[in-house]
């Protein structure tokens, strides 16, 4: 099924020629866990299994990539299409949202056809940033593939509607390799320049509005400026239009001092564009556009909960068999106790002795009064 974001030029897609001895893979462009995206001898993209019978050159490219990038790229979508991107442009979309248009050839379910793939500029910028971090490595270069949303967010979350875009260089430019790094830098520049021009009208003082946006190739810029009638003086481009007039001669001689012309922007690498792209998404749009969130793999399921022990699942305490009580000790018949048993210690417990009385304080006796003579002594008087 053709993605809803793709507008074909023809009413129907053509049937793709199957792989045979006349059609074989020439280059590897992308690899997943068990699948390989290849560029075939007829100029079309095809997906093959990694264990298929591949030419020696393709096997060598796969081996170099696996050595350079140990981590395997994964795609969790069960249904996706391939897009050979040829040109890139932008236009004003609905409600003032800037749109990106990628013209190329779509390969879907054994069919192919020319058309245009439409998406938001913010989605393209995010796809470029993600592609920089997962290239297919060659011995002398790299190839970058884009993961693009071809359907609505609801369809994407069902694992359908993904479009993998590959900007394949023309055959005459593949002498140095099939890498597409220069196209990636040009796509970054055009995307960021479009956003910058819009922001200059909306927020002239925004950071991206005041930025001196770096260019993909400074040499190409200088060559183009010279064709347009500029002279390059150190790091500035000075206009030499109407050089036959007095004003033109003055502009040529004093332009660098009077501020006429402009300073040449620096040249950027993909790492520079990646940094600017992330900052632009965070400051102008959002770090991850809403449809691009649906392209992310779903979170892994939580680990299974280990089964609870059987004794924890019981609502009541388990019945534990009780030990049988010991046999009762035989009791001898009791007889009334008499007082004579007290001599043998079998009587009742003795009554505790009363506490000793507190001794009285000692009072000395009163001395007797001196008595008179006894009566018997009166007889001898």
Each residue of 298-311: pLDDT tens digit? 888 888 888 777 76
Residue 186 lies in a domain: no
Give the dihedral sign, CA 8/14/19/23: negative
CA nearest 69: which of 141, 127, 166, 134? 134
pLDDT at 198 over 60: yes
Return mean pLDDT, the chain.
Answer: 82
Residue 87 lies in a domain: yes
Mean pLDDT of all residues in 355-368: 62
Mean pLDDT of all residues in 243-252: 50
Residue 15 lies in a domain: yes
Residue 277 lies in a domain: no
For residues 284 and 191, give the distance between their C-alpha atoms in angstroms, rounded to a whole number: 13
Q: pTM to 2 decimals? A: 0.74
For residues 96 and 94, give the distance between their C-alpha atoms in angstroms, rounded to a whole number: 5
pLDDT at 152 over 80: yes
Confidence of residue 335 (pLDDT cuts 50, 70, 90): low
241/187: higher pLDDT? 187
Residue 62 lies in a domain: yes
pLDDT at 312 over 70: no
Each residue of 4-24: pLDDT tens digit? 999 999 988 899 988 888 899
Residue 334 lies in a domain: no
Confidence of residue 258 (pLDDT cuts 50, 70, 90): very low
Residue 86 lies in a domain: yes
For residues 159 and 48, give the distance between their C-alpha atoms in angstroms, rounded to a whole number: 20
Can you give the residue range of the structural domain that contains 18? 6-175
Each residue of 71-118: pLDDT tens digit? 888 888 888 999 999 999 888 765 567 899 999 999 998 899 999 999
pLDDT at 343 over 80: no
Mean pLDDT of all residues in 256-275: 80
pLDDT, position 257: 43
338/159: higher pLDDT? 159
Q: DSSP letter for 368, please.
A: P
Residue 45 lies in a domain: yes
pLDDT at 32 over 70: yes
Mean pLDDT of all residues in 231-250: 66
Q: How many domains does the chain have?
A: 1
| Residues 220/237, Cβ–Cβ less than 8 Å | no
pLDDT, position 123: 96
Name the residue with tokens 């505790």. 352
């Amino acid at each position: 099924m053709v993605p809803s974001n793709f507008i074909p030029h023809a009413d129907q897609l053509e049937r793709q020629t199957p792989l045979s001895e006349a059609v074989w893979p020439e280059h590897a462009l992308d690899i997943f866990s068990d699948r390989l995206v290849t560029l075939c001898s007829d100029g079309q993209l095809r997906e093959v299994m990694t264990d298929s019978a591949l030419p020696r050159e393709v096997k060598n490219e796969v081996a170099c990539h696996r050595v350079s990038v140990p981590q395997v790229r994964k795609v969790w979508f069960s249904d996706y299409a391939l897009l050979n991107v040829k040109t890139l442009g932008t236009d004003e979309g609905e409600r003032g949202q800037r749109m990106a248009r990628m013209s190329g050839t779509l390969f879907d379910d054994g069919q192919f056809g020319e058309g245009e793939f439409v998406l938001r500029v913010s989605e393209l910028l995010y796809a470029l940033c993600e592609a920089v971090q997962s290239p297919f490595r060659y011995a002398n270069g790299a190839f970058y593939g884009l993961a693009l949303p071809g359907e609505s967010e609801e369809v994407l979350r069902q694992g359908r509607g993904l479009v993998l875009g590959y900007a394949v260089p023309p055959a005459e430019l593949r002498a140095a390799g099939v890498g597409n790094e220069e196209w990636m830098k040009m796509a970054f520049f055009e995307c960021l320049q479009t956003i910058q021009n819009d922001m200059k009208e909306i927020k002239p003082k925004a950071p991206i509005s005041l930025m001196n946006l770096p260019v993909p190739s400074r040499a190409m810029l200088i060559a183009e400026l010279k064709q347009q009638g500029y002279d390059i003086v150190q790091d500035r481009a000075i206009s030499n239009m109407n050089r036959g007039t007095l004003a033109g001669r003055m502009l040529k001689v004093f332009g660098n001092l009077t501020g006429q012309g402009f300073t040449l922007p620096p040249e950027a690498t993909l790492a520079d564009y990646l940094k600017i792209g992330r900052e632009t998404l965070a400051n102008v749009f959002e770090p991850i556009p809403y449809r691009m969130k649906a392209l992310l793999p779903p979170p892994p399921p939580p680990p299974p909960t280990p089964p609870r022990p059987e004794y924890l699942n019981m609502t009541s305490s388990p019945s534990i068999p009780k030990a049988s009580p010991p046999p009762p000790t035989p009791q001898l018949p009791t007889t009334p106790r008499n007082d004579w048993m007290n001599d043998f210690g079998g009587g009742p417990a003795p009554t505790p002795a009363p506490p000793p009385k507190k001794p009285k304080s000692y009072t000395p006796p009163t001395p007797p009064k001196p008595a008179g003579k006894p009566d018997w002594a009166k007889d001898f008087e």
